[in-house]
Structure 1
Amino acid sequence: MTEFTVIGGGVIGMMVARELALQGTTVELLDQGQPGQEASWAGGGILSPLHPWRYPDALLALAKRSQLLFHKIASTLHTETGVDPEWHQCGLLITDNQETSRALDWGKRWQTELVPLSGEALIDCEPALNRSISEALFLPEIAQVRNPRLLQALQADLQRLDVKIYPNQAVNGFNIRQNRVSGLDTTDGPRKVSNVILCAGAWGGELLATTGLQLPLEPVRGQMIIIRTPPGTLTRVVLHNNRYLIPRRDGRVLVGSTIERCGFNKQTTAGAREELLKSAIALAPQLAEFPIEHHWAGLRPGSPNGVPYIGPHPEIHNFHAALGHFRNGLMLAPATAEMVAGMVTGGSSSVPATPYRLDRELPATAQHLS
């Protein structure tokens, strides 16, 4: 029997499966649809939290570890599969500067370079920026990846590593005996398992609740558009409040993102499309000259304060979960996979696991970060 069954084929599930396979274990991955087609595909690919100084240390520790791992993972995937995830250290410009002092303090504490820019230096850094923006903070170390290509590379690498992938196989519940999962109830019928790792994104909270454990997780819709521009139109990721522009190598510019609590509704809206385009033109007026190529939505796995739940089930011995990564699933995936693999194989992790426990108490002031 396969040693580990990963439920959920987003970036978290695929990275966990890959890490376990690299350690020589046997792994299978189940997804309710096609792997890599939900929030992991729909996001922007910025390898940093937005306004990182607003986040708890627990999330920042995972982020720092993932940032150290990502370039090597992307390079290895490109070599092994021929698919380039397009890791690119383009830097991040933050143009809303009400928190400059707090941001600079965060940079010193986390050893992350922040450069205050204004005037000609700001124009030199990003010539496409609206001239009405007079000041910004530049984080030159921040990189991005192209989500769909990263997911394509991961799936190809899992196949290379003999991970068995079962698409269109939804899990409806767990057969639990003597505090162990013995099997799954799936749309393809009963399935025996040895160890379960739940990485089901926005659907993970409802599935976890069938085991008697309820966590404060909810789907949060995010809508984005992509504008087709010539290469080089925009060179930096630009962030203002919760709106951002992400330039791809081929010239496309992603514009995100909405934050909407509307259940499992993935429909796009004309209002969001208009709002996103307006915010894009306000940041880079030249974008008004180019067409919107695509408009889509995804469901993020929302959690209070953005800190994910990673660890063993408090009552079920062969059950682990990695859930609630909210807006940062792709960015946190390498460190999450490293942590989960260490837990289930008896290894170690570079980041202490205690702050992510499934049975942790939330601070009284915890709020959903937008």
Structure 2
Amino acid sequence: MKQYDIVICGGGVIGASVAYHLSRERDLSIAVVDYKYPGNASRASAGGLWAMGESTGLGCGVILFKTLSKQMQESGEGGSPEIKPHIMPKPFFDMAMLSNQLYPALYDDLMTHHGVDFKFERTGLKFVMFDKYDKLYAEHIAAAIPDRQEHVRWVSQDDLHAQEPNVSRAAIGAMEFEGDHQINPYRLNEAYLEAARQNGVELYLNTKVTGVVRQGNRVVAVETENGKLGCGTMINAGGAWAEKLSLWATGMPMPVFPVKGQVIVSEKLPKLLNGCLTTSDCYIAQKDNGEVLIGSTTEERGFDTTTDMKYIKQLAQGAMKSIPELKKMNIKRCWAGLRPGSPDELPILGAVPGIDGYLNACGHFRTGMLTSAITGKVMNEVVRGLPTTIDLEPFSYTRFLDDQGKMIGNYHLEVALP
């Protein structure tokens, strides 16, 4: 049995970032064990670093606005339906913004010292508005974040069409989040892993974790299909599969569950967009290779990774409404990814009471790419006993426990789902 200081279970973008950050000083023996189950979220991401967008519920695209518009239409002109922008709590907002600020230096470091390029692009994110309901919703978002106004810019109809000539002439303007950029999600995941490998981390890829060994209340080894790996600390970065690892390691449930998101990617196209767009129907992001990603749904369907033509059609129609030129596109592929959801949509970070040698780095829902940088940094601080860059209390596992240490409530997202 090989012995390591750290064994990270999960090599998606979170586990890979943790491995990279822990390995920078090259003073720990570290292993990453990873198996790509169908629906791995890191391979289904659009790669948006949309700190403002995700924190205000706009980064996902679809999803919450149609119900709002329908309610408003049904209420009549004299009605006043309640409008509740999906604003994330301040601890997440702060975490997302801090993580976003790390990316320029992270990009330079990985390029300069490790020769890996994750295609960091400064694009911004615009919420494109088509009617009074979109505009009203955007205004309510702006009103809900008075302390973030320096990151919000209103774009007139003329300016929108000057900046994005291919956007439909029916668009009436946009709300832009400056600083919300994008990366290539595959490249970021691989960049973290390659840099970690160069720093001495051993990668056990295409290897399933089959169990966890405890002695008393301490985790001492991770069992894999190819043998045991002894560890001083196990880190659970299992994505949508994190609960199984938690049950093996702690005997306690973990409120992390799969949230399905369906995505379309086009063939390579001429440059259509200068930035990323989100609307009441979808988000649209064109990558540096010309492919256009269109997403995404938000569905609780267990570990189902099949695609549904009904939703694919909705996403495609939403994209063509925004960018008429996309009516000529050929779809290259469609897929469904499984985001690691948590009941309050916040990550679960740090220790579990009563269990030594075990840490959580899971439950990042749809923001794994965005928050991977700060998560890796913070988990390195936790392992080394350093003061953490962010307060971990709002992200602690204990927020789900009652006074008797039992799980509170059911596993579900506290947001509207289609």
Quickly name the TM-score band, shorter chain normalised.
over 0.9
Secondary structure of the 2:317 match is: helix
Relative distance call for 1:273 and 1:338 in structure 2 (3 A) is: same
**Alignment partner, residue 29 of structure 1:** 32
Confirm whether residue 173 of structure 1 aligns to residue 211 of structure 2: yes
1:282 to 283, 307, 321: 321
Alpha carbons of structure 1 residues 158 and 164: separation in structure 2 relative to 1, 3 Å: same
Partner AA of 2:115 in structure 1:
G
Contact 1:217 1:303 in 2 (8 A): yes
CA distance in 2, matches of 1:168, 1:271: 33
1:262-282 deviations in whole A, cap 9, x for unaligned?
A: 111222233332222111101
Query: How far has the Cα of 1:305 moved from its partner?
Result: 2.4
Q: 1:87 aligns with which of 107, 120, 126?
A: 120
How does 1:1-370 map onto structure 2 within 5 Å? Answer: 1-24=3-26, 25-33=28-36, 38-49=40-51, 50-53=53-56, 54-95=87-128, 96-105=134-143, 108-110=146-148, 112-210=150-248, 211-241=250-280, 243-361=282-400, 367-368=414-415
Q: Which runs of 5+ in 2 are unaligned?
A: 57-86, 129-133, 402-407
> C-alpha displacement at 1:354, in angstroms?
0.9
CA distance in 2, matches of 1:285, 1:360: 46
Per-residue deviation at 1:208? 0.8
Verify the 8 A CA contact 2:19 2:30 in the aligned structure 1: yes
Letter in structure 2 aligned against 1:286: E
**Aligned CA distance change for structure 1 residues 218 and 242 (closer, same or farther; 3 Å):** farther
Shift of the 338–121 alpha-carbon distance from structure 1 to 2, 3 Å rule, reads same
SS where residue 98 of structure 2 aligns? helix
> SS of 1:306's equivalent?
coil
Relative to structure 1, is the Cα distance of residues 33 and 247 closer, same or farther in structure 2, using a 3 angstrom cutoff? closer
Q: Distance in 2 between matches of 1:311 and 1:282?
A: 44
Alpha-carbon displacement from aligned partner over 1:41-60 (angstroms, at most 9, x marks no partner): 21001112545231111211
SS in 2 for 1:191: strand
Q: For residues 98-137 of structure 1, give each alpha carbon's deviation from its aligned partner in whole angstroms, at most 9, with x where no partner exists.
A: 3333433455413642111222112112211111120210
Distance (Å, rounded) in 2 between the aligned partners of 1:134 and 1:75 = 38
Rounded to whole Å, the distance in 1 between the matches of 2:123 and 2:253 is 40
Q: CA deviation at 1:7?
A: 0.6
For 1:108 and 1:27, how far apart are their aligned partners in 2? 43
Distance 1:273 1:215 in 2: 31
TM-score by length of 2: 0.83
Q: Deviations over 1:135-175 (max 9, x none)?
A: 21011221100111112222221221110000122223222
Show structure 1 runs of 5+ residues with no match: none
Question: How does the TM-score come out when normalised to structure 1?
Answer: 0.93
Identity, in percent, stands at: 28
> Structure 1 CA distance, aligned partners of 2:24 and 2:8?
15
In structure 2, what is the Cα distance between the partners aligned to 1:367 and 1:212? 26
Quick check: 2:8–2:32 contact (8 Å CA) kept in 1?
A: yes
Tell which deviates more after alignment, 336-345 or 269-278: 269-278
Q: Is the 8 A contact 1:310 1:357 kept in 2?
A: yes
Q: CA deviation digits over 1:39-97, x for unaligned, max 9? A: 11210011125452311112111101111101211222223343321111101111233
Note closer, same or farther for the CA distance 1:165–1:37 as it changes in structure 2 (3 Å cut): farther
Give CA deviations for 1:263-319 in whole Å, capped at 9, x if unaligned. 112222333322221111011111111211221221110112211100102121110
Paired residue secondary structure (1:304): coil
Q: What SS does the aligned partner of 2:95 have?
A: helix
Question: For residue 190 of structure 1, what is the amino acid of its counterpart?
Answer: K
User: How far apart, CA to CA, are the structure 2 residues paired with 1:29 and 1:339?
Assistant: 18
Larger radius of gyration: 2
CA distance in 1, matches of 2:365, 2:416: 9
Distance in 2 between the 1:281 and 1:300 partners? Answer: 26
- Which secondary structure does the structure 2 equivalent of 1:98 belong to? helix
Tell me how far 1:33 sits from its aligned partner. Answer: 3.5
- The alignment partner of 1:97 has SS state of helix
Q: Any idea what the Cα deviations from partners look like across 1:195-217, whole Å, max 9, x if unmatched?
A: 11110000002221232221322
Residues in 2 aligned to 1:253 and 1:299: alpha-carbon distance in whole angstroms: 20
Matched-pair contact (CA < 8 Å) for 2:7–2:222? no
Q: Secondary structure at the match of 2:48?
A: coil
Q: Judging changes above 3 Å, is the alpha-carbon distance between structure 1 residues 112 and 231 closer, same or farther for their aligned structure 2 residues?
A: farther
Structure 1 Cα separation of the partners of residues 415 and 349 of structure 2: 18
